[in-house]
């Protein structure tokens, strides 16, 4: 099961060790590096070597941490209530699961790639610390708790574009 170099991916010993430690310890792994150094490819290769699904959450400057959990579409619900659409009384119909939700509830252990986390604003990593650590969160609108039965393998990448912002996060997951 150990992560190795393949014909399409060359991994150094240090990288292999870090990846395998993250898999065994079930802790998120933060990979930092210049663009084009194989960070995204690493997650793809890892999912393939574990023969599992890769769920990618690509971060943009406008991405909010809560979107990774779920989004509540209040606008559609209001419109549907005015149109008398069936099911409008059930708030669950307007909850759209995010990538963490998808990864936590997958029926196998998946690889979750949170790609280019440095694109987001300064609070983004801090806002996800608890959910990534406990691998569970509460859906306030429905009262349910989403909990990972099988903790996904989480790979977080940063292009170092705003490296000062990442320090607190690196300290939170001092695996590498």
Residues that bind Mg ion (CB under 5 A): 40
- Kindly state the smallest distance separating residue 65's Cβ from ligand ADP, in Å: 21
- Kindly state the smallest distance separating residue 126's Cβ from Mg ion, in Å: 22
Residue 97 touches which member of Mg ion, ligand ADP, none, C-beta under 5-8 Å by kind: none
Q: Quick check: 6 binds ligand ADP (CB under 6 A)?
A: no
Residue 174 touches which member of Mg ion, ligand ADP, none, C-beta under 5-8 Å by kind: none
Residue 9 touches which member of ligand ADP, Mg ion, none, C-beta under 5-8 Å by kind: ligand ADP
What are φ and ψ of residue 93, in 5° steps? -70, -15
In angstroms, what CA-CA distances link 43 with 23, 47, 73, 85, 130?
Answer: 12, 6, 31, 42, 22
- Alpha helix segments (H runs only) across 27-123: 39-49, 74-83, 99-105
The span from the CA of 54 to the CA of 48, in Å, is 8
Residue 72 touches which member of ligand ADP, Mg ion, none, C-beta under 5-8 Å by kind: none
Burial label, 106 (beta-carbon count in 10 A; 0-12, 13-18, 19+): middle
- Kindly state the smallest distance separating residue 113's Cβ from Mg ion, in Å: 9
- x/- map, 16-35, ligand ADP, by CB under 6 A: -----------------x-x
What are φ and ψ of residue 70, in 5° steps? -170, 165
Measured from each CB, the residue nearest to Mg ion is 40
The overall longest dimension of the chain from CA atoms, in Å, is 61
Interaction site with ligand ADP (CB under 6 A): 9-10, 33, 35-41
């Amino acid at each position: 099961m150990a992560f190795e170099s393949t014909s399409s991916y060359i991994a150094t010993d240090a990288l292999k060790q870090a990846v395998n430690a993250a898999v065994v310890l079930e802790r998120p792994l933060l990979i930092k590096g210049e663009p084009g150094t194989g960070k995204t490819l690493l997650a793809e290769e890892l999912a393939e070597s574990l023969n599992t699904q890769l769920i990618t959450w690509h971060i943009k400057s406008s991405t909010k941490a809560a979107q990774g959990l779920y989004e509540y579409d209040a606008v559609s619900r209001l419109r549907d209530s005015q149109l008398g659409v069936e099911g409008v009384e059930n708030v669950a119909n307007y909850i759209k699961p995010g990538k963490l939700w998808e990864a936590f509830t997958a029926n196998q252990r998946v690889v979750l790639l949170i790609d280019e986390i440095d694109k987001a604003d300064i609070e983004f990593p801090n806002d996800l610390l608890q959910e990534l650590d406990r691998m569970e969160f509460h859906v306030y609108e429905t009262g349910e708790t989403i909990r990972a039965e099988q903790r996904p393998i989480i790979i977080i990448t940063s292009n170092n574009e705003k490296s000062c912002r990442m320090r607190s996060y690196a300290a939170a997951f001092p695996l590498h």
